[in-house]
Amino acid sequence: MSELARELRAERRRRRRRRRRSGEARRGLYLLPQLFTTGNLFFGFFTIVQAQAGNFDRAALGIALAALCDTLDGRVARLAKATSRFGSEYDSLADIVSFGIAPAILAFHAGHLEGFRRTGIAIAFLYAACAALRLARFNVHPSRYRGRFEGLPSPSAAGMVAATQWFVSFLRENEIAWTVHEAVVAAGVAALGLLMVSAIPYRSFKEIDLRHSYRGIVVMVLALVAIFQEYSVALFAIALLYVASGPVEWLWRYFTGRPLEELPPPLSPGQETSA
């Protein structure tokens, strides 16, 4: 009887150890996406500091690294099955800094919008406010159309700001005489902000499976070759094409009468209960 009791106690201890180990593993997997989100927030803060110090190319690099962390945190969370409401809210707060406030400050200083005084501040704030509204709308209802974002995604708008800064630096380094008036910069920043809160659909590319898409693989290889040759020009061209693709496709579908497939509207709490 005593030997049986010892075996039962030993088995209970083994079970407790297994539960502790599995709990630690789950806790580690839960924290991993948050580390990438914290990296996103850090690089947004880094961009703000570098932009105010006049290191505009480093500030643009901060936006690119923040976008990389933002991509990885969601993928890691889904692979590890560690998605949570806390992680979603934390990610949105980090995105507001990295893709709303940081690019607005970079555009304000690098684009010399301070010359417009109050108007320059208002335009930079318009961009930041539109990014915040875009993120809030995405949290409530991602899109009306299948395979599309509703409005320009905030990371893409921030990427346009970063790519423009690198492109301007490329022109200066190669002594290419090309100047852009501050009014054009202001108009571009305002346009990016308004595109974010617009209803214009943009391709999400989430449904593309590169394992079975020969065309997608070819496009990706060509893009990588172009980036390797001269990243500043290639990234500027890619960002500009994506920003312009939304309005161009929207106009084409409007005039040709080819609407996108709309998703069913989300159910209200009362409808969910009755169902």
Average pLDDT, the chain: 82
Q: Which pLDDT score is estimated for 206?
A: 66
Q: In the structure encoding, which two tokens stand for residue 244, read together?
A: 């312009």
The residue among 273, 32, 47 whose CA lies nearest residue 162 is: 47
Spell out the residues 6+ positions from residue 33 whose beta carbon is closer than 8 angstroms to its own.
Answer: 73, 74, 76, 77, 80, 82, 83, 87
Least confident of 16-30, 44-58, 132-146: 16-30
Question: What's the pTM value of the predicted model, to 2 decimals?
Answer: 0.81
Domains and CATH numbers, the chain: 6-260 (1.20.120.1760)
Report the pLDDT averaged over residues 22-51.
80
Q: How far is CA 129 from CA 106, 189, 190, 240, in A?
A: 15, 12, 11, 22
Work out the percent of the chain whose per-residue pLDDT is above 70. 79
Report the pLDDT averaged over residues 248-264.
82
The residue among 105, 97, 109, 114 whose CA lies nearest residue 54 is: 109
For residue 187, count other CB atoms closer than 10 A to its CB.
Answer: 12
The residue among 167, 249, 159 whose CA lies nearest residue 196 is: 159
How many Å apart are CA 106 and CA 112, to the nearest integer?
Answer: 10
pLDDT in tens, 184-240: 899 999 999 999 999 899 988 766 655 656 666 777 777 788 777 788 889 999 999
Residue type, 70: D
pLDDT in tens, 79-137: 767 677 887 888 889 999 999 999 999 999 999 998 888 999 999 999 999 999 999 98
Q: How far is CA 39 from CA 105, 170, 189, 254, in A?
A: 19, 28, 25, 41
